[in-house]
């Protein structure tokens, strides 16, 4: 959940480290730090809070040196503070770490018996002292290997040394780590986004890999300490794709890019000429699939719930959905005739990767739906379907959710067609309907931009909110509640509307905002009936529908009408007003839109 950067250069590196840390703040932002080698000594500076605080500190007291490491933190061990911020340094080494060391308590006790003192509450300081201890008796390579073998858990590490003052060492197990190549300098980073302003030549470490960087050389070693070669990837040179441009924050930009996300994704997967979907080379013949299991976390899990409805409607395949953090610990009956689909924006979500790893060890067929095709989940899967959303910087996912749902829907249609469970005419109609989606998302965006700021005011004094929907609208209600929680810190719950009378109705009281999702589908009349139950108990109803003419009730507080579209595609349009509502509530409360408290974008710890 943290971001790390390392640079080995022949010029001062502090400024580039700071700029890279700013790009990595989506991974963590409760504290920040930097360590460089200056006059043969480790020079460490760190602080609580954002990278801008560290930048101000360095402006007053510069950190020189042509080799260094930096870190932005999302707390797992110890409260956000200067002492718990990374790097963690001894007289000999300085370490930045993303991940969790699961045996840190036992290691700490052993090290304390040897006389080592611990200043912080973190698990990372164990790595610092452990490596320092091994360096007393072993050379650099053996000390690193012994340290890594002693650690249990997940980590991506950046390490610099007092004695070996021209190298940066990187190591990876479980957490992502990229290496960049530059002229007379080389780089280490949690992802390519942090390195992209300095280089477009990137290599990704695999689990167990170690790299040693100098300003003009990079050596790679695998888990058996054997020297290896790594493939160099060339990144695109679009410099504007991850900038805010005219927008106040990344989230508003990313919400407004969703029609482009949909257009790009559809263009990638649809053969316009042949009216077909370009998905081939399945890891398992769709006709032989006995079950599909959809696995994700958070917003990605909500896309899986939505897809369950599509797959069940379009195919005869039994569908299961699972939260990744639960999947790997249950006694799952894995089957080689099942397809296991893993959904993740970053492709580095630790729980999802662990669930995928369990499937790989059991040799079952896997497919990943990700936004980052170079990610760990993508590279470990039998089959990869990119969502083509482009970089998503805001911590609360918006355009990636649209992309995930879109790829899952396209996959459901294609599997149905291959299995001959959909007629050719219906197949072609669904492809034609998909082509209309980007423009309708844009239309919905334009309409809701003007209306949601007014509605948002009703949430400011509320102590909570409720989101209700049936069928395909139910998972969108869950996502709407999650967005409001993530951005505004207001308690919110999503429920199937028919479940109200079985308990949640007790929460309805005078003035409680209740968002009702009621498109004109087969659930419409039932949902409107559930809405009346809310109104009768004093709930303040915000209705989102595509059929307002057939609803007669003077007690609806606000109505948002989205365009009509095929029922299967309605979730895409329903999503937009909920995102904008959460955004505007958070804006009115002066919350940090792009970096909500306690959250990080890429969840790389369990």
The verdict on residue 153 lying in a domain is: yes
Q: Name residues whose C-beta falls within 8 Å of residue 433's C-beta, 6 or more positions apart in sequence.
A: 565, 566, 568, 569
Which residues partner with 188 through β-bridges?
Answer: 6, 179
**For strand 233-234 and strand 270-271, is the pairing parallel, antiparallel, or unpaired?**
unpaired
Q: The domain spanning residue 305 has which CATH number? A: 3.40.50.10490
230 and 106, same structural domain? yes
- Alpha carbon of 1 to those of 72, 97, 249, 600: distances in Å? 9, 10, 21, 6
532 within some domain: yes
Same domain, 275 and 160: no
Q: Which of 404, 422, 440 is the last residue of a domain?
A: 422
**Are 98 and 187 part of one and the same domain?**
yes
> Which residues have a Cβ under 8 Å from the Cβ of 41 and sit 6 or more positions away?
162
Task: Report if residue 430 sits inside a domain.
Answer: no
According to the model, what pLDDT value does residue 602 have? 55
Residue 604's pLDDT is what?
Answer: 47
Point out the domain boundary residue: 234, 259, 284: 234
Q: Do 371 and 503 belong together in one domain?
A: no
Q: What is the CATH number of the domain that holds 126?
A: 3.60.20.10
Lowest model confidence (mean pLDDT) among 192-196, 370-374, 413-417: 192-196
Amino acid 150: pLDDT: 95
Q: Do 418 and 497 share a domain, yes or no?
A: no
- The more confidently predicted of residues 308 and 204 is 308
Same-domain status, 116 and 86: yes
pLDDT value at residue 160? 97
pLDDT digits (tens, 9 = 90+) for 512-529: 999 999 999 999 999 999
d(CA 214, CA 61): 26
CA distance 366 to 241: 30
Alpha carbons 238 and 247: distance in angstroms, whole number: 18
Which of these, 191, 210, 203, 92, lies nearest to 146 by C-alpha position? 210
Mean pLDDT, rounded, for 244-248: 85
Are both 134 and 259 inside the same structural domain? no
> Do 480 and 581 touch, CB atoms closer than 8 A?
yes
239 vs 197, higher pLDDT: 197
Task: Please say whether the beta carbons of 156 and 99 come within 8 A.
Answer: yes
27 versus 308: the higher-pLDDT residue is 308
Does 345 share its domain with 198?
A: no
Largest CA distance in the chain: 81
pLDDT beyond 90 at 601: no
Domain that holds residue 98: 3-234
User: Per mean pLDDT, which range of 135-139, 240-244, 540-544 is the poorest?
Assistant: 240-244
Domain-embedded: residue 443 = no
pLDDT of residue 193: 74
pLDDT at 605 over 50: no
DSSP 8-state code for residue 279: -
CA 370 – CA 390 distance, rounded (Å):
11
Whether 138 is covered by a domain: the verdict is yes
Q: Which of 156-160, 348-352, 552-556 has the lowest mean pLDDT?
A: 552-556
The reply to whether 440 falls in a domain is no
Res. 29: pLDDT tops 80: no
| pLDDT at residue number 48 | 92
Which residue's entry shows tokens 């980052």? 372
Is residue 442 domain-resident? no
Q: Are residues 179 and 254 in the same domain?
A: no
At residue 390, the pLDDT reads: 86
Domain count for the chain, please give it.
3
Question: What 3-state DSSP class applies to 548?
Answer: helix
Please indicate, yes or no, whether residues 274 and 168 belong to a single structural domain of this protein: no
Say yes or no: 587 and 525 in one domain.
yes
Highest mean pLDDT among 197-211, 236-250, 266-280, 474-488: 474-488
Which of the following is catalytic: 2, 47, 359, 367? Answer: 2
Lowest mean pLDDT among 72-76, 244-248, 357-361, 531-535: 72-76
The residue among 215, 234, 253 that closes a domain is: 234
Q: How far apart are the first and last CA of the chain?
A: 10
Residues 89 and 134 in one domain: yes
The residue-averaged pLDDT of 66-76 equals 88
Give the mean model confidence (pLDDT) for residues 348-354: 89
Residue 2 annotated to the active site:
yes
Distance (Å, whole) CA 161 – CA 365: 43
Enter the pTM of the model: 0.75
Residue 40 region, left (φ>0) first, then alpha (ψ -120 to 50), else beta?
left
Output the CA–CA distances (angstroms, integers) from residue 299 to 139, 306, 403, 486, 525, in the order listed: 46, 11, 11, 11, 28
Strands 492-496 and 383-386: unpaired
Alpha carbon distance 412, 309 (integer Å): 10
At 569, is the secondary structure helix, strand, or coil? helix
How far from chain centre, in Å, is Cα 14?
28
Q: Is residue 433 part of a domain?
A: no
Selected catalytic residue, list 46, 108, 595, 601 = 601
């Amino acid at each position: 959940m943290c971001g790390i950067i390392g640079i080995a250069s022949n010029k001062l590196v502090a400024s580039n480290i700071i700029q890279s840390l700013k790009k990595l703040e989506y991974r963590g932002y409760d504290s920040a730090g930097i360590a460089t080698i200056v006059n043969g000594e480790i020079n460490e500076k760190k602080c609580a809070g954002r990278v801008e605080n560290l930048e101000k500190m360095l402006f007053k007291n510069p950190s020189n040196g042509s080799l260094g490491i930096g870190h932005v933190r999302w707390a797992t061990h110890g409260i956000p503070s200067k002492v718990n911020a990374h790097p963690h340094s001894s007289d000999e080494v300085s370490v930045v770490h993303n991940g969790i060391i699961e045996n840190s308590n036992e290691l700490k006790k052993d090290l304390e018996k040897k006389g080592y003192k611990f200043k912080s509450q973190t698990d990372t300081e164990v790595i610092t002292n452990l490596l320092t201890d091994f360096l007393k008796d072993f050379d650099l390579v053996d000390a690193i290997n012994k340290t890594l073998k002693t650690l249990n858990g997940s980590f991506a590490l950046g390490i610099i040394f007092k004695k070996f003052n021209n190298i940066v060492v990187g190591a990876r197990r479980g957490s992502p780590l990229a290496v960049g190549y530059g002229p007379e300098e080389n780089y280490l980073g949690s992802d390519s986004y942090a390195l992209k302003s300095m280089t477009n030549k990137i290599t990704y470490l695999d689990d167990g890999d170690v790299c040693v960087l100098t300003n003009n050389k990079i050596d790679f070693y695998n888990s058996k300490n054997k020297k290896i070669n790594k493939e160099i990837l060339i990144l695109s040179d679009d410099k504007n794709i991850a900038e805010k441009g005219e927008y106040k924050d990344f989230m508003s930009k990313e919400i407004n890019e969703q029609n482009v996300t949909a257009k790009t994704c559809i263009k990638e997967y649809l053969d316009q000429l042949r009216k077909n979907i370009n998905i081939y080379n399945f890891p398992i013949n769709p006709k032989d699939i006995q079950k599909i299991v959809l696995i994700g976390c958070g917003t990605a899990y909500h896309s899986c719930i939505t897809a369950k409805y599509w797959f069940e409607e379009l195919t005869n395949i039994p569908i299961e959905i699972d939260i990744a953090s639960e999947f790997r610990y249950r006694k799952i009956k894995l089957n080689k005739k099942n397809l296991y689909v893993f959904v993740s924006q970053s492709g580095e979500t630790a729980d999802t990767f662990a669930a995928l790893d369990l499937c790989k060890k059991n040799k079952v067929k896997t497919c990943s739906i990700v936004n980052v095709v170079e990610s760990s989940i993508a590279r470990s899967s039998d089959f990869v379907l990119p969502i083509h959303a482009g970089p998503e910087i805001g911590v609360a996912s918006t355009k990636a959710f649209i992309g995930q749902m879109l790829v899952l829907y396209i996959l459901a249609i294609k599997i149905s067609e291959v299995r001959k469970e959909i007629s050719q005419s219906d197949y072609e109609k669904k492809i034609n309907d998909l082509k209309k989606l980007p423009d309708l998302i844009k239309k919905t965006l334009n309409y809701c931009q003007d209306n949601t700021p007014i509605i948002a005011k009703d949430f400011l004094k509320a102590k909570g909110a409720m989101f209700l929907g049936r069928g395909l609208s139910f998972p969108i209600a869950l996502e709407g509640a999650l967005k409001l929680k993530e951005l505004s810190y207001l308690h919110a719950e999503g429920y199937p509307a028919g479940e109200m009378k079985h308990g949640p109705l007790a929460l309805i009281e005078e003035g409680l905002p209740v968002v009702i999702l009621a498109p004109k589908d087969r659930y419409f009349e039932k949902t409107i009936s559930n809405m009346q139950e809310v109104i009768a108990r004093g709930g303040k109803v915000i209705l989102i529908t595509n059929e307002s003419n057939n609803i007669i009730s003077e007690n609806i507080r606000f109505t948002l009408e989205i365009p009509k579209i095929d029922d299967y595609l309605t979730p895409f349009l329903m999503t937009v007003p909920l995102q904008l509502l959460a955004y505007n509530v958070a804006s009115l409360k002066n919350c940090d839109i792009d970096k909500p408290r306690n959250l990080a974008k890429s969840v790389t710890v369990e």
